[in-house]
Each structure stands twice: as structure tokens, then as C-alpha cells.
Amino acid sequence: MPIATDFTSIYSHDWEINFVQCTPNGLLKHTELCNLLQLTAGYHAEKGGLSFTDMQEHHQAWVLSRMRVEIESLPKWRDIVTVKTWIYDLQGSRSIRALEMYVGDKKIVGCVTYWAVFNTKLRKAEALALPHEHFIKYPEKEATSESFKKVTLQPDAKLHSERKVVLSDLDIVNHVNNVKYLEWCLDAIDYKPLLRQQLLSFDMNFMRELQLGQDVQLVATQQDKQTFFSINKEDKPCFALELNWK
């Protein structure tokens, strides 16, 4: 697809929060928050000629490698939120993208993401085949107080549960969608602090893809005001999560 005539390097998209996106207290689910952030990034990529369809001409797709989300508050049912996004850096096979969510003029969420270009035939990272010079990069325009990081896997973590990857876990790249990992972990903890908006921030690392029918283990530990998860396949970590609480 050609670059859109209304393309801009900083992109904004408005969303109305609907009831299926909310928890029983009427606030946006953390998983749906991540979906809205990534959908906005996808729309921006499409405007700039870097959509999934464009990249599939070269058997390429963007896959998420790391993500940090910082939460001031969560929007509620019927709120109109504005998600803004821009690129910090894009070189070779890697891109760093920032996102912010607003209700009116109030910023309520900041996010920074680290993406890799993935060859969907060879199942490995490679340099982006499409031009991106028309995207102005904004390395100084930060959306979060801290950048994404490598989540430290805790040696004292214990097996929490096991599961098998099913069809509803998969996305268009034919592997487990990144938000599904977060969903599995949040479903495994006490829900009350989530409903009380006590989750301040979280970091996610995506290390290996998971595919249909594979068996995985959820491993977890709690340390003070932090919860750590690792999702493993055959004792090798595929995903790591750090939750930071009030």
C-alpha cells in the first residue's frame, strides 16, 4: 500500500472504550489496554507503508520483543481515549516505538516498545526490506519514566500451572499473540489488586515463539511489591513478565 496522503510521523487515534473491553468494575482490562496500544501502532505503520500487508510482500512482519507500560490510571467504559505514537529509532531489523494514552488532556498511560522484523517463512529476524526514511524519528521524546528492560528470571520461582496452546491463542503470524502471554499470567494471580488499580507498571520480554499444540509451564514468584512470571517450553523461557505494584 502507498504512503497515505495524511501520513504524519506522530500519529493519534481515538478509541471509545466498550463494555466487552472492561473488567467487572467498568475499567479497561490491562490486556485490552495493550491491544489498543498495538492497534494504534499498526494503524500508524499502515499509514506509513509498513503494514503487515506491505511487509508480507517480502515475507516479513513486525513482532514484539519487549514492552514496558506505566499506568497512572485506567479509562472506564464509554471513555473516549486518544492514543499517540511515534518512533524513537528504526535501524536494520529493530524499531523502538513510543505510545501514550490520554483522556482529554490528561496522560494516563505511557508505553515504550521494542520490535523486530521477522521473516515469516524462515522464522527468524532480518533487516527491514521496506524504506522508512519518511518516518521522522524522535529519540528525545520519551513516553515513560523508564525504558524497557530485560526481565530478570528469578531462581526461586515455582511451577504455577501448565497449559496447551490452542487456536484462540494464535494470531495472523501463526504464533501465540503477545497479549495472550499477559492474559495467562494475570489470570493466575489475585484479581483484587488489579481491580483496585494497584498495578503501576509492567515489563514484558518475548524470547521464543509458541505455536499450536505446544505444552508450556507458568512459573511464578513474589518479591515484596513485584510479581515475576516466566512461561517456559521444555524448560526454556519463551516469555518473562515483571509486575510492579503500589
Do 181 and 155 lie in a common domain? Answer: yes
Q: Which of 148, 180, 196 is the last residue of a domain?
A: 148
Provide the grid cell at 175.
Answer: 504464533
Do 193 and 141 lie in a common domain? Answer: no
Q: Which of 133, 148, 163 is the last residue of a domain?
A: 148
Q: What confidence tier does 1 reach under pLDDT thresholds 50, 70, 90?
A: low
Do 2 and 99 lie in a common domain? Answer: yes
> String of b and e for 217-246 (b: at least 16 CB within 10 Å)?
bbbbbeeeeebbbbbbbeeebbbbbbbbbe
Predicted confidence (pLDDT) per residue in 189-229, tens digit: 999 999 999 999 999 999 999 999 999 999 999 988 999 99
Domain residues for the domain of 137 are: 1-148
CATH number (domain holding residue 176): 3.10.129.10
Do 88 and 106 lie in a common domain? Answer: yes
Mean pLDDT of the chain: 96
CA dihedral of residues 125, 143, 187, 22 (deg, nearest 10): -120
Do 66 and 99 lie in a common domain? Answer: yes
Do 119 and 43 lie in a common domain? Answer: yes
How many structural domains are present in the chain? 2
Predicted confidence (pLDDT) per residue in 27-51, tens digit: 999 999 999 999 999 999 999 999 8
Do 68 and 182 lie in a common domain? Answer: no
Do 132 and 166 lie in a common domain? Answer: no
Predicted confidence (pLDDT) per residue in 49-94, tens digit: 998 999 999 999 999 999 999 999 999 999 999 999 999 999 999 9
In this prediction, residue 2 carries a pLDDT of: 83
Do 125 and 188 lie in a common domain? Answer: no
Q: Which of 121, 148, 175 is the last residue of a domain?
A: 148
Do 44 and 131 lie in a common domain? Answer: yes
Do 161 and 131 lie in a common domain? Answer: no
Do 127 and 182 lie in a common domain? Answer: no
Provide the grid cell at 42.
Answer: 499498526
Task: Decide if pLDDT at 12 tops 70.
Answer: yes
**Residues 6 or more apart whose Cβ sits within 8 Å of residue 50:** 62, 128, 130, 132
